[in-house]
Each structure stands twice: as C-alpha cells, then as structure tokens.
Amino acid sequence: MKVSVDKSSGFCWGVIRTIDIAEDELSSLPDGEKLYVLGDIIHNPMEIKRLAQKGLTTISHDDLEGLKSGKVLIRAHGEPPATYARAEGLGVELIDATCPVVWKVQERIRKFYDKGYQVVIYGKKDHAEVTGLVGQTNGEALVIKSIEEIESIDLSRKTVLFSQTTMDKPMFHKIKEELQRRIRELIVDSFEEQASEFHAKDTICGQVSGRDKKLREFARQHDIMIFVAGRNSSNGKVLYHICQEANPRTYFVEEESELQPQWFEGVESVGISGATSTPQWLMERIKKNIESVYAPSVSA
C-alpha cells in the first residue's frame, strides 16, 4: 500500500498569513498579557487546539465588553464595520488578520452599495465571512445560495452579484446566468465605463477554485481518498464533494481516530487531501497513522 499526501492541499496563503500573525503576536506578548481571537481562528479544531496550547484564547463578540487587557485578533474571515466601531468604543486593541482577498471583496461591495446598487451575495447566511460582507451594506445585502432564492431579489433595481470566497463556481455561474436573463436594461455607470444594470463579480478565491482540477486528478490516481477537514469548514465541504465526484471511495475525517479498518481492505493506494484550513502537519500525522496501523509493511 502506498500512502500519499496531496501536495496542492493544505492552508491557503490567507490562512497561512493569519496563523503567522497569531504566532508572531503570541511569541512577543509581555508577561501576563493575553491574545484573544474573535471566533474560531479557522474552521479546523485540531489547529485551534494547537494554537490554544500556545496561549491563543477564543472569545465571542459578547466577551468584548469584559476584556480588561490584551489584544484581539480579527481572523481571516473578516468582520463588519460595527465590530471595529464597538472595539474602538470599548478601548479594545484589534490586530486585523483579515485575508486580503476577503478585505478586497468587502471594499468592492462597499463601493457598489454606496453607488446605490442592490447587493446580492452568493453564500451562507450564517458564515463568518458573509457576516462581514453583509456588514458593508448596513445589513441590507441579500444572501442566497440557490436559484430558487432569486425570487427574493428586486429585479427592477440595478444589482451586483458577489460571492463568498469559498463557494463553488458552477452554482455561482448558474445564478449569474439566471439573473442576466431577468435583468437586461443597460445603463452608463461611472464605476465601470458601460455596464448593464446587473454586474456579476466572481469573488470566489482563486486558490479555492483552482484546486478543483488538481484535486480531481489526484483523487482519480488512488483507490481511496481520505479527505481531512473541520466539519464546519465551508471550503472543506465544497472540496470534499469535488473529491467524492472524482473518487466515490472518499472518506471525510477530522482526525486519525475516525479512520475505519474496512476502508483499507484490499487497497493498494491511499490519497490524503484537505481543505484550505487543514494544516499540513495533521495530514502528515494521518499518513503516518495509516502506514503504521493499516499498512505496516509500507515503505514511505
């Protein structure tokens, strides 16, 4: 049995940047001072646990008022303007580790909103990133994740469609095409030289969407696939389903304790891949576990 880790998997650069900022701050904290993060720093419980052991404390928005000292990290998902205003009012020092890709989407949404556009976001209403995006519009943006939900959109208004950065491209383009069929009037707009009343901004992260082809190729090369991700990872769910389409014998795990012996019966090759929030060290640890427990004769 051969066990291989997908070289294209693991942290995206935005997550790497956020983790690096957190670790740099933790290593330079004065004695007695603490570093907090507003919500789970990434959607991976194993990495959260590792950073917690280094001193990173996860808090909620409700905890802000009770802080007497320390710094608060804004995670890669970003936050709405209201969070920054509240922290300033409370005298809380923020360290902004928002992913630059997410920050750019926030900026673009704000510009279109200020110009009077109806903002529609393809995403999940309860996702942390989407909360930050909707916050750029004073809570007025519409969040949809299916063609059926288009009925909630005012088709008579000039509209701009954005996407949560970790959503899948095929559905984004289906929604875009359906809206283009329903909103047809042309206007001259100063933001773009000439445009229709409907604009579609494909703001899905290139590092996420770019994984599709490589992941499919990697999955087809192995008898079974072990996909490693946090169960709350939106990106993980998207990539897992892509992996499963390419290789039906794909199994989702958060850690090695979830591996099942029957998965490996008669298997000659195992591929391991993960989400953009899955740490490389965890996939390597799972690889070693498979080699030692389910393929003791393997030569790495």
pLDDT per position as a tens digit, 24-37: 999 998 888 899 99
What is the DSSP pairing of strand 35-38 with strand 71-74? parallel
Count of other CB atoms within 10 angstroms of residue 86 = 15
107 and 180 co-located in one domain: yes
Which pLDDT score, from 0 to 100, does residue 188 have?
33
Q: What pLDDT, on the 0 to 100 scale, is given for residue 300?
A: 38
pLDDT of residue 207: 65
Domain total in the chain? 3
Residue 74, in any domain of the structure = yes
Higher pLDDT, 256 or 208: 256
104-133 per-position pLDDT tens digit: 999 999 999 999 999 999 999 989 999 999
Residue tagged 């993060």 (tokens): 37
* Paired residues of 121 in beta bridges: 143, 162
- Tens of pLDDT, residue by residue over 218-266, are 999 999 999 999 998 878 888 999 999 999 999 999 999 999 999 999 9
299 domain residue, yes or no: no
Which of 72, 98, 124 is the last residue before a domain boundary? 98
Evaluate whether 128 touches 166 at the Cβ level (below 8 Å). Answer: no
Query: What local confidence, expressed as pLDDT, does residue 186 receive?
Result: 35
Active-site positions read: 129
CA distances from 28 to 31, 75, 76, 80, 148 (A): 9, 18, 21, 28, 50
The answer as to whether 298 is a domain residue is: no
pLDDT at position 296 over 70: no
In the three-class reduction of DSSP (H, G, I as helix; E, B as strand; rest coil), residue 226 is classed as strand
Residue 136 lies in a domain: yes
pLDDT, tens digit, for every residue of 9-59?
Answer: 988 888 999 999 999 999 998 888 899 999 999 989 999 999 999 999 999
Q: Which domain holds residue 20?
A: 13-98
What CATH number did the domain enclosing 26 receive?
3.40.50.11270
Same domain, 24 and 68: yes
